[in-house]
Structure 1
Amino acid sequence: MSVAGRRSSRPSKPTLTVVDLFAGCGGLSQGFRETGRFTPVGAVEHDLAAAATYAANFGEDHVYWGDIGEWVKGDLPDADVVVGGPPCQGFSNLGAKRDDDERNDLWERYVDALVKIKPKAFLIENVDRFLKTRQFRSLLAEVEHGGMLSDYRLDFGVLRATDFGAAQLRKRAIVIGTHKSRDKILLPAGKVPQHEWQTVKDVLGGINPKVPARRTELPEGRTHEVFGKTVRGKYTADELHITRRYESISLQRFRKIPEGGNRFNLPDHLKAPCWIKHTSGSGDVMGRLVWDKPSVTIRTEFFKPEKGRYLHPDEHRALTHHEAARLQGFPDTFEWCGSKIEIARQIGNAVPVDLARALAQHIAEGLSGS
């Protein structure tokens, strides 16, 4: 069943409240909402386009657009659960790993929020390397006696999104904190065996792959008012089904790469000079996806084939924004704000909705004692 049609049954009335920090466009919030057991009562996001997308889908009334450091100084909402993924660029496996990157310390604002809100449970998600950083070691110290989070117990590990229903081989570090007044919530075990993993075909099979050949831009002249500002949008899922204008050399390369193939399949006259000299290394550069397997991790530049395995299984182009959003688990009813690059960043930075939904259901069951 496609992502657009695959949704969990919902109780008649949500019973728990959730605050989403570093919310982005709302991947975590979407997963929590889809369980039918959570109502969002607070969200914080500093990027205007992402905050606008969140507000378009969850309401503007509970969203704070701005610096979380300022937000935590005010009166914060009561909530059963706090979730969020502090920015991870400083210790991502991509690019330079700077332990002194100021973005790494934004997790401290997350802790400040926990101290003030005092939720029953909290969830942190991040890149898998997070569990090896000094920031994580500092977090562990805070749950020790005398620490700011000494009222909580943690369970943590690395989960694979495909094991929870996503059609994407994406690994994330997950930390669940439970207040000591309740039974400790452990990380969930994956419920989808490998032979039942969702595939690219399961998710993209219902999308017309030929449409992007005729569309390269978002609709012109559309604006949306939010937080007293004007942003581009809102755009529907099918309006994100757009491609790029490729150079002739790129199209020649695409035609030589078979399903599951990559730059190694190219004849020498179509290889970049650096590819000829390097016959090993990443097999995902200029890689083509496979219909009957999950996708690779959808990152923020999925529209650039030179950045990874992002070529469509059949078509001579990279994934469209619509296809990438589907692979991230967003329903077709989700609306988007921003430019093409801003929306791509929102999609790539989001938590796969299927993983978020499974975590939300697990936490809800843990809090209810089931």
Structure 2
Amino acid sequence: MSSPTKNATRSSVPRRQDAGCPSAVDLFAGCGGMTAGFVAEGFDPKLAVEWELPAAATYAANFGVDHVRCIDIAELRSDEVPKADVVIGGPPCQGFSNLGTKDPTDPRNALWREYQRVVLAADPQVFVIENVDRFMKSSEFALLMDQLRSGALKRWKHVDVDVLNASDYGVPQRRRRTILIASRVGPVTLPAPSHAKDGERGLKPWATVRQAIGKVSRVPDRTELPESTEEYFGHRVPGVFKSTEIHVGRRPRPMSLERYDHIPPGGGRFDLPDHLLPRCWAEKLTGTTDVMGRMRWDAPSLTIRTEFFKPEKGQYLHPQWDADEPDNRVNRPITHREAALLQTFPVDYLWCGGKIDIAKQIGNAVPARLAAAIAATVRNRLK
């Protein structure tokens, strides 16, 4: 396993400094959103597996390279898996996603079986699976539950599973994800919400876009990433970039700028005048209102996906828009830095890869703050 060059930097991901830190294995680790939350709650990562090089490099830049395997999980031998207190991970969900092919034969749908193989090898007290909200309605989920009831995973008989909204855990984003926690050391429950939409039930109000990105410069620093590369796993990748260096904008066409200018906070393509509608939208009078949408300052964003830099893909326009002062409008999509903050990555997180690579890492990640809430409830169960 190749290590980075000596001048590679490390972010100061928040960590609880406790004696006897519980250990964790992170599968399908991506750029480290789940690990960031677990590390913040005092877990020590012993193994991370991620097959995409830029994501694995980002993970290594933040948490160290020695325990990271940049390979297909099927290539990981069971005898290479360390014993661990917890196994965490989100098998790729594109086969289940509303935005995917919805193909039940998609081979990515079976990757949870590799997750199961590693669980059996690591023999954790608890394991956690994260996936899209539709996962609970899939045939693969039904097979997984069969394994938990009477199959290879039956020792982990204490199971809690539900669809959680990240905004209920302090994430400034309405992101619904299936979370399953299974324990062999006694009952364990999903974390109780810490936030509610309007602060109901004595909880904190939902975190907002303003709280996440309100202090970030409204003018991106650049349109391209700095010229820099680092070696990870025997290959050179773009990076390592500080979070401030991924505050990159685009060069929208005049027509795009004119469209952006007509869209108020919470609005979308249905706010465009007829002369600015592309034919495909003009002929489709129904459908999602999120397309070409603008965020609201004082509410969570909608789900941050992998193409947040394209306003035509969702509600990704910057929230600053003044009806009476056109000059006080920010007519652009959010930047990579802003998307990372909405995903609650630490402000000094480090990044590797090109712009599209980093966007994919951010959009696919588990929000770090949601991961920390899960980690806290899991740690309370461990013996």
The TM-score normalised by the length of structure 2 is 0.90
1:71-220 to structure 2, matched below 5 A, reads: 71-145=76-150, 147-153=151-157, 154-179=159-184, 182-195=185-198, 196-210=205-219, 212=220, 215-220=222-227
Residue 332 in structure 1 maps to residue 347 in structure 2:
yes
How much has 1:11 moved relative to structure 2?
4.2
AA of the residue aligned to 1:336: W
* Structure 1 unmatched runs, 5+: 1-6
Q: Say whether the 8 Å CA contact 2:156–2:183 is kept in structure 1.
A: yes
Task: Give, in whole Å, the separation in 1 of the partners of 2:304 and 2:263.
Answer: 20
Residue 352 in structure 1 maps to residue 357 in structure 2:
no
AA of the residue aligned to 1:357: A
Task: Give, in whole Å, the separation in 2 of the partners of 1:216 and 1:342.
Answer: 15
Q: Say whether the 8 Å CA contact 2:132–2:178 is kept in structure 1.
A: yes
Task: Give, in whole Å, the separation in 2 of the partners of 1:103 and 1:148.
Answer: 21
AA of the residue aligned to 1:358: A
The TM-score normalised by the length of structure 1 is 0.94
1:259-274 to structure 2, matched below 5 A, reads: 259-274=265-280
Q: Say whether the 8 Å CA contact 1:268–1:276 is kept in structure 2.
A: yes
Instruction: Quote the RMSD (CA, aligned, Å).
Output: 1.3
Q: Which residue of 2 aligns with 1:3?
A: none
AA of the residue aligned to 1:24: G
1:219-298 to structure 2, matched below 5 A, reads: 219-220=226-227, 222-298=228-304
AA of the residue aligned to 1:201: R
Task: Give, in whole Å, the separation in 2 of the partners of 1:95 and 1:17.
Answer: 34
AA of the residue aligned to 1:323: E
AA of the residue aligned to 1:185: V
How many residue pairs end up in the alignment?
Answer: 355
Task: Give, in whole Å, the separation in 1 of the partners of 2:136 and 2:20.
Answer: 32
Over residues 10-37 of structure 1, what are the superposed CA-to-partner deviations in whole Å (9 max), with x where a residue is unaligned? 34445200000000000000000111x2
Task: Give, in whole Å, the separation in 2 of the partners of 1:96 and 1:122.
Answer: 28
How much has 1:75 moved relative to structure 2?
2.1
Task: Give, in whole Å, the separation in 1 of the partners of 2:193 and 2:104.
Answer: 31
How much has 1:171 moved relative to structure 2?
0.4
* Structure 2 unmatched runs, 5+: 1-12, 199-204, 321-329
How much has 1:280 moved relative to structure 2?
2.2
Q: Which residue of 1 aligns with 2:8?
A: none
How much has 1:194 moved relative to structure 2?
1.5
Q: Secondary structure at the match of 1:31?
A: helix
AA of the residue aligned to 1:346: Q
1:16-27 to structure 2, matched below 5 A, reads: 16-27=22-33
Q: Say whether the 8 Å CA contact 1:14–1:38 is kept in structure 2.
A: no
Q: Which residue of 1 aligns with 2:327?
A: none
Task: Give, in whole Å, the separation in 2 of the partners of 1:23 and 1:167.
Answer: 22
Identical-pair percentage: 50
AA of the residue aligned to 1:69: A
Q: Secondary structure at the match of 1:155?
A: strand
Greater Cα shift, 193-202 or 8-17: 8-17
How much has 1:275 moved relative to structure 2?
1.5
